[in-house]
Structure 1
Amino acid sequence: MERREFLAALPAAAVGLSLTETAKAQTEAEPFPGFQPPGVDRWERSDVEAGDRPVGASFGTRSEVFGRSGAAGTSHPLATLAGIDILRKGGSAVDAAIAINACLGFLEPTACGIGGDGYAMLWDPKAAKVVGISGSGRSPRSLTLEAVRSRLRNGFIPPYGALPVSVPGTVDMWWTLHGKYGKLKWAELFEPAIAYAEGGVPVPAVVAYYIRRGMTNFARPGMGIEELDNARATFAPGGETPGVGEIFRNPDLARTYRMIAEGGRDAFYEGDIARAIDAYFKRIGGWLSYADLAAHQSKWTQPYSTDYRGVRVHAIGENTQGLATLQMLNILEHFDLKGAGFQSPLSIHLQAEAKRLAYEDRARYYADPDLVDVPADWLVSKAYAAQRAKLIRPDRINDKIRPGDAPSRGDTTYFSVADRDGMMVSMIQSNFRGMGSGLVADGLGFMFQDRGQLFTTVDGHPNIYAPGKRPFQTIIPGFATKGDQPWLSFGVMGGDMQPQGQAQIIINRTDYGLDAQAAGDSPRWHHEGSSQAMGEDDPTLGPRGLLRLETGVPDRTAAALAAMGWKIGESDGGFGRYQCVERRMDGNERVYGASSEMRADGLALAY
């Protein structure tokens, strides 16, 4: 604002007054709090925006970081440093990804850990293609559908306790990846995580907030958690969760990591760890057993892909929601998003309507393809997308959408790593809802996932619960290529937000020209609800659901969307967290650009 405009905006009595008197007049008209009150996690001033950057998008938080030899982006700086150290020692991107994930299991227990599942897509430079792997565990073989139905709450599988626990798939996924792509010795990959867990690290703000919130939630009456003392001893030693900047240790997890480092995946699935897990679930009356663990194996899988305006976007099918990203982009290809305008009402309306259409199919068809026939090729076809695009009205919300008629016949951590040989790894790993089930086995230091909550118990549904079946999964890594060469290794964490967030990243890059960092910093939307409910959906939202907008979305856009019929919800922090490594070429030389998420505690580095 120019000085004359500033003076004109002041009350008439304030003009000509001293600076002190002017400030007093302004403050009396509208108070300006001068500090974040103690104990307040989030201090929001809607009239204060980010500072001005000299280049790039005005809302960008920082620049991409660039390097020629390797790059990593994670949700915790110490995990990123560990990954870079592994790369500099000569490790592959897979080696670095395993080391990062092990670190995050200690550093960010609110989002991941070896009690959960994982998936990865990677660019294999020798094969010159994108490769996928599924580290998804199965439901206990001794737990019957009848037993599950007898324990439902409000018609759904409860989110906590032993009932939704399935076999943790992460450690076997690490082992399988390392066997094919690892360069360093297996035990070396656990050295950083063991050192952090034994020595302790100061806890950053976002992790401290979610540990406190998670443990408070577990302790609420009626949560149905069979045993909580171990979780309290692990994450709230002395009766209090760690505060911001306070040092946190997990010696039990360090011992567990040592056993895995020395004994490989067998230590977890067939050795002392497996026996400890078996004994624990017998003690608390659960179902996960030694036999379930011993039978587990990861699965290599060929990702699906689609072309979106010259970019090929890849997604793991299997029992995940990865197909939803491809379905959304296929539908949106029929609309001129660039012409609609960045953060415009029309652009967000079209994207959210495409989400609603894709998620109808997500709830109707997505399941474990090992046991049911998922019509994946039809779901991601251009012909089907053209049919679905005709259902979108540009001026109002459509209340009559349903799943398509098939032809007859999941809180999370994400990270990305790239190495000097051209390998790029996109990996995502999760305990599902928050910290997981609330259950920590005696002496092991990690919490078990509650992924089984996403099964349905409706007869005839492809995702109906069955013993030894993989549940529908929300966690999905992202990958994009250009001209048969790798381009983006990226992901957006956060349950049902993940396909929505991935689509927004691709749209921000492709339609709106934002760089990799600004594409993640851009304000996001998140639509909740579907007429076809999955286990995590709120059945009270109705067919229109709820459209949440981050505060950075222009007010006029929110008002226009409400006029179209959208129910606008408050910004609740559920907009996912993003990391990305981008491959560029400067002539014949490769350059990596890495980006991290301002909504988390993370850091991206390259060298």
Structure 2
Amino acid sequence: MRDFQRPGRSAVYANEAMAATSHPLATLTAIETLRAGGNAVDAAIAAVAVLGLLEPHMTGIGGDCWMLIQRAGDAAPLCYNGTGRAARSAEPAVLRLLDEGAVAVPQSHPLAVTIPGAVEAWDRLSTDHGRLGLDRILAPAIDLARAGAPVAPRVAADWTRHLPLLQSNEITAQSFLAGTRAPAAGTRMPQTQMCRTLSAIAKDGARGFYDGWVADDMLATLKALGGPHEAEDFTGHTGNYVAPAAGSYRGTRVFETPPNSQGAIVLALLAMMEPADIAALDPDGAAFHDLIARASEAGIALRDRFLADPADDHGADDGGLAQIMEGARAAAARIAAGGRADPAPERPGGSGDTVYVSVVDRDQTAVSMVNSIFHAFGSGITCPRSGVLFNSRGTGFRLAPGMAGHYRPGLRPPHTLVAGMTGDGRRPVMSFGVMGGHYQAIGHAALLSRILDHGLDPQAAIDLPRSMAMGGVLEVETGADPALMPRLIGLGHRVRAAAQPLGGAQAILIDWDRGVLIGGSDPRKDGCALGY
């Protein structure tokens, strides 16, 4: 139990249904959708659509998504891959970048823009599993775009850090700056173009986005910048159902989004952590952070070696899942005994540029959904008529040829996005996710350990300070115990204070024995969990 004389927040308890997001208005949208007769799928899509306006630096219709859906009675969740592919004619542009000496795709280069996958996923999931229809689901986002969403405090703080990117593109500056400055907290930001575009999607579904005037605007914008994208890249885009990556930890079934998602790395970290007696460790002590860091170094190295689109002929046909898990099992005893792996070099990504939504409805259907444009404000490229802000997901490709995950026309890049679910073999138990670029897989493993090894409720587990090992450096949040960093240095880590909070999280636990829902939402963001 938390100390009620200290700042903090309690877990949220409810009987029938619950939603948790990174913004109060998005959580309220999800709850109102449920009370209007919608189910968890409807509510999650409605909340994510609203978050594209409330947190435009994190997500939007120019990005990608993943969703896990598990119903009571199901042994495992359904999983939908709503991520986009590189343009089919991208190869000459990739070769030009290589000839220019580039080692990675620049964030604002048109090659950074993969075909947005989110809208197709929303339409397909709404049709296959929703109750209300996309027109009703998108109505709150359309109204908010018209009226203007007030900027929340954490969002305002993030916005100010990205002025150079926003100022580098005239349309982006007009769309996302208040004059020459980032909007202050409380500023209302109407998005007229986005209102029209969301209305087109509400009316015509995915066809209203990937075809017609919206698609024409997206294509013209990319072509003007020298992009290799063609109309067929948009009209031909489809997401697909895939089997989730599955494992277990302390007897609990754990499901993660599979390759091209880095969800396999969550399972790899858990496999390396399981031999250790973590329950005997302080969940915020140096030994716990040290173990997570050492497992992370090994896991990220496996990710950067093997993770790819399963369609990539330079990788394995499962996207590297089996190779990653084989490497994790081989390293498990060494990691548990205090061994280290050679750290992988830091890759582009950012620390929190994603939104995650968890919803459980009155039928005990749980949804775990992540939606993102990758870097903060994605590529920084905005379309003038439609207001679409493009993702920068193409920077996740490896640029050098001949290896798994390198930039190939028509393929999906390796993805940092992860959504998670736990179950007991016959029903969902917890819908959860941790936002934050490369931190996501690390955050999933740490959150699960704090809940399953230490018995913390979702809110208490989310609240604890975080650390992240990347590129040979262990970043520690400034809210940690001041004695933690010196102790980690004593354990052989190069340590520095994190410049920004490490990610954000939401989780909803179904307590089947007591018939209640228990939710948590990250205080590092503006959001909350609500239920009824």
TM range (shorter): over 0.9
Contact 2:284 2:464 in 1 (8 A): no
Contact 1:122 1:423 in 2 (8 A): yes
Candidates 87, 110, 113, aligned match of 1:162: 110
User: Over the residues paired in the alignment, what is the CA RMSD in angstroms?
Assistant: 2.0
Give the letter aligned to residue 322 of structure 2: D
Which has the higher mean CA deviation after the structures are superposed, 385-394 or 168-177? 385-394
Candidates 355, 372, 392, aligned match of 1:430: 372
Contact 1:115 1:431 in 2 (8 A): yes
Between the aligned partners of 1:401 and 1:246, the Cα distance in structure 2 is 42
SS at match of 1:238: coil
Between the aligned partners of 2:341 and 2:81, the Cα distance in structure 1 is 36
Between the aligned partners of 1:176 and 1:572, the Cα distance in structure 2 is 39
Between the aligned partners of 1:288 and 1:472, the Cα distance in structure 2 is 20
Candidates 391, 410, 420, aligned match of 2:334: 391
Return the offset for 1:549. 1.1
1:497 matched to 2:427? The reply is no
1:442 matched to 2:369? The reply is no
Contact 2:289 2:467 in 1 (8 A): yes
SS at match of 2:483: helix
Return the offset for 1:513. 1.5
Candidates 506, 517, 520, aligned match of 1:595: 520
Candidates 496, 511, 516, aligned match of 1:584: 511
1:147 matched to 2:80? The reply is no
Structure 1 residues 262, 477: CA separation in 2 closer, same or farther (over 3 Å shift)?
same
Residue matched to 1:564: 491
1:370 matched to 2:304? The reply is no
Contact 2:149 2:189 in 1 (8 A): yes
1:53 matched to 2:1? The reply is no
Between the aligned partners of 2:153 and 2:230, the Cα distance in structure 1 is 36
Between the aligned partners of 1:467 and 1:147, the Cα distance in structure 2 is 14
Structure 1 residues 401, 76: CA separation in 2 closer, same or farther (over 3 Å shift)?
closer
SS at match of 2:389: coil
Give the letter aligned to residue 81 of structure 1: L
Candidates 47, 62, 73, aligned match of 1:115: 62
Candidates 143, 159, 174, aligned match of 1:195: 143
Between the aligned partners of 1:554 and 1:91, the Cα distance in structure 2 is 44
SS at match of 2:53: helix
SS at match of 1:380: helix
Contact 2:440 2:503 in 1 (8 A): yes
Candidates 299, 302, 326, aligned match of 2:240: 299
Candidates 229, 245, 248, aligned match of 2:170: 229
Give the letter aligned to residue 313 of structure 1: V
Structure 1 residues 301, 506: CA separation in 2 closer, same or farther (over 3 Å shift)?
same
Return the offset for 1:598. 0.1
Q: What is the count of residue pairs matched by the alignment?
A: 519
Give the letter aligned to residue 65 of structure 1: V
Contact 1:206 1:601 in 2 (8 A): yes
Large movers: runs of 4+ above 6 Å: none
Residue matched to 1:182: 130
Candidates 521, 526, 535, aligned match of 2:463: 521
SS at match of 2:77: strand
Structure 1 residues 472, 169: CA separation in 2 closer, same or farther (over 3 Å shift)?
same
Return the offset for 1:210. 1.8
Between the aligned partners of 1:440 and 1:573, the Cα distance in structure 2 is 26
Candidates 548, 557, 566, aligned match of 2:475: 548
Return the offset for 1:151. 4.9
Q: Percent identity?
A: 34
Scaled by the length of structure 1, the TM-score of the pair is: 0.82
Output aligned runs, 1:167-316, within 5 Å: 167-219=115-167, 228-316=169-257
Describe the superposition over 1:140-199 as per-residue Cα deviations: whole angstroms up to 9, x where unpaired. Answer: 11211313423554x221122312111000000111111111101220111111111111
Structure 1: gaps (5+ residues): 1-50, 220-224, 404-409, 530-544
Residue matched to 1:41: none
Residue matched to 1:539: none
Rg: which structure is higher?
A: 1
Structure 1 residues 438, 196: CA separation in 2 closer, same or farther (over 3 Å shift)?
same
Return the offset for 1:400. 4.9
Structure 2: gaps (5+ residues): none
Give the letter aligned to residue 32 of structure 2: D
Return the offset for 1:586. 4.2
